[in-house]
Structure 1
Amino acid sequence: MANGIFREACDIFFRHYHNKPYTLFNPALFRHKAAHGQIPRYLQFALIATAVRFSSQAQWKQRKQKTIDGYAQCSWEMIMSSPDGLGDSSDVSVIQALALLAVIDASAGRRRAAWVKIGMAVRISQDLQMMLEPDSLSVAEAEERRGIFWTLFLLDRFVCCSFRRPPAIKVSDCQLKLPVDRELHESESALTLGELLDENVRGRPNRVVGVSGFSVGFAALLGRTIDCMMNREARAVEPWQGNSDYSLIHTSLESLKQMADAHPSAIEGEQLHTYRTSHLVLSLTLYHLTHCILSHPYLLGVKRQAHQSAPTAWIEAQIASCWSHAQELTTLVVDAKAAGYMLAPSFYSYCILVAGTVHALLLHGEDKPASERASKYLKTSFDYLSEVSEVWHNSYIMSDALRFFTNRCVRYSSILLGPASLFETLTQTDTLVLRSVLDYWAMMHPRNPISELSSLNIDCFADNSGKEGQGQNSLSPDEATESPEPLPSKNGIENENPTVDPGVLVDFPLSISSPVEEGAGDSEFTKWDWDNELHPV
């Protein structure tokens, strides 16, 4: 790779993004292709756009998002205009590029663009039969495709944490075996997703699953929970009955968690910079998030209305469980960050938001010690969202939504934690707010329903930065989601914005890690010491 910026982008990408937890490349295979000029330009641009986000250089302080969007837009235009981009080739480069671009769009609030790109990537992967075991491929190519498909599965489940957003990948269609962490013996066999979720199969001797397979398993259970609690009409079987969907999901969660706890990779003291940690953290986060959604006071209240005979003791037990998991989720994510591990997916901000809504509801409960604990967890949630906003600008949206929700929780707590009859007093505005804070799709966009209602907000958690809900060194929500300036026309007329000029980008003029001129940047800009993350050797 003769090109300096692409080399630097690759180094940043593989240090800070690859396998944390998205696995889109086999590093050795990728570098071999790059050395022989076999990486399509649209994939190079998508990778550079992703890497820029994780650069610690102060030169990107004011133009990072524009640069990301500029490279991403050029990548997308090349995919759509190139005969190789959407051709019938068996090359997976376009899937890799689309997955990277979808994450960029989602984090910038371009929901439909992200939805389309993930959908295209999934359909192309299905066209290439990537949901089945590969044959006639080298080991490196087969494992790369395995990682790509399960990354698409994770992305598909994440963006579908919403009301009325069905996933594109069905569990029943996934016959591809889950990744493993070691060489298999002759008598051993890797599990498929269906087998992992089948309690009668996964516990059999010599059936093996890697730590990343648990991430996929918990993501699948999260999808089932979203369907059960947010997208399905009331069923005849009451949730507290042993044969209900609710009870079956709860049992599957605990059974899979028990299996994950016994996994040999889940050992204390393991190096945090390994990919295993990224999936251990993700698996536990998804486990707690799924419990929070499964037993969220608002969603339980909806079920309670459909089943007026809901036992009060059962409801109280589920709410207590929900708050316990909310505390565990917040502690896990914050401790992982404090230990120096960068939580790459922006999806973690949504996880913190959901847990934060539970803390906010308990803030005004009658139990004073619990209320004090809830206040501390809530503050921790706001602090986390503020700190990661340097990388994921949609954290602003989550923070503002949680702030608005918190300011209305004097009302919500009395209704959702009180007698079932009070649930009927919720207004249409109340319902809109309660649904929105649990809807990842809604929370992707800066102009979501809660932002439209924000004029009603009285800030109970003002910070000292001069901007409500924003960190001192961060961009505003509008700046964070700002679209790039128009690209130059095909007639060669140049654009004044040098970061998005395709004619300039072709020669990679921007140095991601070049030194900043003296006095050009703010030495206190970086919250994360990217280049020394976990002090890799």
Structure 2
Amino acid sequence: MEWCEPRLLVPGVGSFPELHLPIQPRSKPPGKLPTKREVPYLDQVIKSLWDFHHCFSNVREHLRDTAIYSACIDERSRSKIKCIHDGEPPCRSCFKSKRPECILSGPFETGRRQSNGTKPRESAPPTSAKLNVHRDSSVEPASPKPSINDIAAGKLTKDVVLGLSPQVLLVAVTTFTQKFPELAFNHAPTFSSHVKEDVTVWIKIAATLALCHRFLPVTIKDQIPSEDELAACSRESLQSIQSVTPSISAVQSLLIMSMYEWGAGNGYGAWMHSGMATRMMQSLDVMKPDRGSEVIETEIHNRTFWACFVMDRFIFCGRSQPLALPLDTMTIQLPIGEEDFAFGGVSHAGKPMESTGPFTVDEYYTVLVEGFEIWSKVLDLIISGGRRTPGMSQPENCPWVTGSPWKKLLDSVEEWRSQHSDRLRFPASGVAVHVSLGHGEKFAYVNLLYYVCILFLNREYIPFLPIQLPEPVGPIDPPLLEASAPPGWWHSRAKDLYNAAECITLIHQQLDELNAPLLTPFAAFCSFCAGSMNGYVTSFPQMNLNRSPKSAAHEELNFLHLEKFTALWKMGRGWAQTLKRVQTLRFHVIRDRARFIGKTRSDFVALYESIHDYAGVSPIVRAETELSANGASISQLFDGNESNDSNENAQEMRNNPQPRSSVLGELMPELNPEIFLTGDEIWNQAWPMWGDQQFGTFDEAELQFNYDQDLPTL
């Protein structure tokens, strides 16, 4: 007997070419269905098809009812914009616009409107007595889709996060890895499997989306909750898991939220999240079993520990502070290379630290770990008093003396740099080639870290207002150094200082030109530091022997970078304000040079301290004075009413125009040009010491560890 595979047609189901059932050919009238005898298990086949058809019809009718036939009244009144909702208010438009009331209007009739007035056809199962159609009771109904109300109220957020498409997660993880090289613990090839295995990894996803929200394309943002919702959910969820068994994903979530709070201007929150991550990681390290051959898991554990180490040095409270993870207590190996990590290379976690060079960009995380250890020591020296620390002016502690605190740090920086291959050094290796290979941000981060260390160390000994100085020299205000520097030593320090500022500026410029900007807190801090020095040498070109002809243009680039950063992060407002105030001070110096002769750092203590502001907060102005008799404006600073020396400086400012920034102008209106400095106490009153202003008591009513405060204007 021959067999054929005709297509089975069931009324109401339609044509499904993929469903072919073997039947015996019989001479039957066309259009009749085969019998059960002809097709075994016909009842089960028809039942399955009918169940599928019934389910599909219900879904189709529901979607038509909610997405087409109902709409928000406000949407109807404004235009024929499609109203998107889940069957109950608010609709997406009202939710985003924060309208208090959202009323959905009908019609809500089920089914399509009949043109002939006949009753719509109702779907019904076949009437065969032998066909007993029923649903399998073991199959659970599908979970309802979270609505916009659920997202807004913080309900079902876990389902919302885990329900995101793999494409969204991939974009978020890739963005995080590129923009935040200091947190290099994600293993992208196995990330999706961790999502399924770890019950707390959804919090890490929410924190990652909150941190990277500002960098994501619009098409991705439309598919996820807002940044504030994700951040709030992450905070609440992290609080709820603190008392349960620690996990790697929980530690990573705390580190990500620490970075988020730091950029958002909440220094206290950043410090606390970082501290909790460190303590949780220490407990995990104690409980960690021997993982044997689980190479990737071991390296993820290793890198997460080093991320805690980096954040311990990254989140600085503004004063000298003990480190939670001293380097001499670390017993784990430095991170392996990026390629080995991606492919599951051998990790040596648990063995003593070893470090050999030369390093390439593949070992950038090892380079960053060692670099942040040095950076924390540099920053600690400066904010602890720097050259004004008791004993630092003695001959044995002068900066050129081998073994002095300053020289030890400089030697550490240069030794660290000597381990970098030529391809890891800027400007020997350009930014473009690294961007083309996909690791431009990593290359930039390493070089920014090096140059900001050089800038901080060399800036410590320059005069604050070198009005009458013809060339680079050391301090001119107490405490003076008790020994003389070797010939040419200050010239070399000036060259290194302004070269560092130039390199920081050029790195950012090249990243911007290649559409790979690094708009993260540490990168912006480096730009702020470079801007302060580019402005300084613009006003006093003799302090680098006229070797910085492009300093004014570079200062403008620093302003522009801070504009972009401030548009994304609240942290940058203080840095931008400080640069504008320093710029205004330079204008006053040009206007009345004679009045500023003899002024030193001690006359501008708080302003000087704000230049070292690592936290992005500008001291609050407490007192200002205005000219009452002279109505001069900024443009009149260049009039020929000053001394000859002042006119020379004015001409220099004409040749190197000062930056005027549109975004910064919106954030901080132009400084009042009538403000004039008439005494030694004015700027000290206006600029309280940074540490005193930031860190009062951690009192609930007077918490000062907050960098997101409203900035006063002049």
Tell me, yes or no, if the aligned pair for 2:318 and 2:383 is still in contact at 8 Å: yes
Shift of residue 115, structure 1, vs aligned partner: 0.9
CA 1:80–1:349: 2 relative to 1, 3 Å: same
Which residue number in structure 1 is paired with residue 419 of structure 2? Answer: 259
Following superposition of structure 1 onto structure 2, how do residues 307-322 of structure 1 map, counting pairs within 5 Å?
A: 307-311=481-485, 313-322=488-497
Following superposition of structure 1 onto structure 2, how do residues 343-382 of structure 1 map, counting pairs within 5 Å?
A: 343=518, 345-367=520-542, 370=547, 372-382=549-559
* The structure with more radius of gyration: 2
Secondary structure of the equivalent of 2:335?
coil
Secondary structure of the equivalent of 1:449?
coil
Q: Distance in 2 between matches of 1:381 and 1:150?
A: 31
Q: Distance in 2 between matches of 1:58 and 1:13?
A: 12
Secondary structure of the equivalent of 2:550?
helix
Following superposition of structure 1 onto structure 2, how do residues 290-439 of structure 1 map, counting pairs within 5 Å?
A: 290-297=453-460, 301=475, 305=479, 307-311=481-485, 313-343=488-518, 345-367=520-542, 370=547, 372-409=549-586, 422=598, 424=600, 426-427=602-603, 430-439=604-613
Following superposition of structure 1 onto structure 2, how do residues 378-527 of structure 1 map, counting pairs within 5 Å?
A: 378-409=555-586, 422=598, 424=600, 426-427=602-603, 430-441=604-615, 443=616, 445=617, 448-449=618-619, 461-464=659-662, 467-468=665-666
CA 1:454–1:225: 2 relative to 1, 3 Å: farther
Shift of residue 80, structure 1, vs aligned partner: 1.4
Secondary structure of the equivalent of 1:363?
helix
Shift of residue 396, structure 1, vs aligned partner: 3.4
Which residue number in structure 1 is paired with residue 403 of structure 2? Answer: 243
Is 1:16 the equivalent of 2:175? yes
Deviations 1:415-437 (A, max 9, x none): xxxx9x9575632xx11111122
Matched residue pairs, number? 447
Q: Distance in 2 between matches of 1:254 and 1:466?
A: 36
Q: Distance in 1 between matches of 2:375 and 2:412?
A: 11
Secondary structure of the equivalent of 2:503?
helix
Shift of residue 364, structure 1, vs aligned partner: 1.4
Q: Distance in 2 between matches of 1:133 and 1:291?
A: 42
Tell me, yes or no, if the aligned pair for 1:211 and 1:279 is still in contact at 8 Å: yes
CA 1:344–1:125: 2 relative to 1, 3 Å: farther
Q: Distance in 2 between matches of 1:390 and 1:171?
A: 36
Tell me, yes or no, if the aligned pair for 2:254 and 2:276 is still in contact at 8 Å: yes
Q: Distance in 1 between matches of 2:590 and 2:333?
A: 45
Tell me, yes or no, if the aligned pair for 2:310 and 2:369 is still in contact at 8 Å: yes
CA 1:347–1:401: 2 relative to 1, 3 Å: same
Deviations 1:105-133 (A, max 9, x none): 11111111111111111121122228999
Tell me, yes or no, if the aligned pair for 1:404 and 1:454 is still in contact at 8 Å: no
**Which residues of structure 2 form unaligned runs of 5+?**
1-158, 463-473, 628-632, 635-657, 670-714
Secondary structure of the equivalent of 2:661?
coil
Shift of residue 323, structure 1, vs aligned partner: 1.1
Q: Distance in 2 between matches of 1:220 and 1:37?
A: 32
Relative to its length, the structure with more helix (as a share) is 1
Q: What is the TM-score with the length of structure 1 in the denominator?
A: 0.71
Q: Partner letter of residue 355 of structure 1?
A: A
Is 1:88 the equivalent of 2:245? yes
Tell me, yes or no, if the aligned pair for 1:404 and 1:450 is still in contact at 8 Å: no
Which residue number in structure 2 is paired with residue 534 of structure 1? Answer: none
Q: Distance in 1 between matches of 2:572 and 2:210?
A: 19
Shift of residue 159, structure 1, vs aligned partner: 2.1
Tell me, yes or no, if the aligned pair for 2:175 and 2:216 is still in contact at 8 Å: no
Q: Distance in 1 between matches of 2:549 and 2:429?
A: 33
Q: Partner letter of residue 338 of structure 1?
A: E
Shift of residue 43, structure 1, vs aligned partner: 2.6
Q: Distance in 2 between matches of 1:149 and 1:462?
A: 44
Shift of residue 263, structure 1, vs aligned partner: 6.6
Shift of residue 56, structure 1, vs aligned partner: 2.9
Shift of residue 149, structure 1, vs aligned partner: 2.2
Q: Distance in 1 between matches of 2:378 and 2:584?
A: 28
Which residue number in structure 1 is paired with residue 381 of structure 2? Answer: 228
Following superposition of structure 1 onto structure 2, how do residues 179-194 of structure 1 map, counting pairs within 5 Å?
A: 179-181=335-337, 182-183=339-340
CA 1:351–1:178: 2 relative to 1, 3 Å: same
Q: Distance in 1 between matches of 2:664 and 2:367?
A: 43
Q: Distance in 2 between matches of 1:382 and 1:273?
A: 27
Q: Distance in 2 between matches of 1:8 and 1:426?
A: 57
Q: Distance in 2 between matches of 1:411 and 1:240?
A: 34
Question: Of the two structures, which has the highest relative contact order with CA contacts closer than 8 Å and spacing of 6 or more?
Answer: 1
Q: Distance in 1 between matches of 2:164 and 2:522?
A: 28
Q: Partner letter of residue 242 of structure 1?
A: T
Tell me, yes or no, if the aligned pair for 2:332 and 2:353 is still in contact at 8 Å: no
Deviations 1:76-123 (A, max 9, x none): 1122124xx34333x212111111111111111111111111111112
Which residue number in structure 2 is paired with residue 501 of structure 1? Answer: none
Tell me, yes or no, if the aligned pair for 1:174 and 1:192 is still in contact at 8 Å: no
Is 1:167 the equivalent of 2:326? no
Q: Partner letter of residue 314 of structure 2?
A: F
Q: Distance in 2 between matches of 1:264 and 1:456?
A: 51
Shift of residue 230, structure 1, vs aligned partner: 2.6
Tell me, yes or no, if the aligned pair for 1:26 and 1:143 is still in contact at 8 Å: no
Which residue number in structure 1 is paired with residue 114 of structure 2? Answer: none
Shift of residue 455, structure 1, vs aligned partner: 9.2
RMSD of Structure 2 on Structure 1 (CA): 4.3
**Which residues of structure 1 form unaligned runs of 5+?**
197-201, 472-537
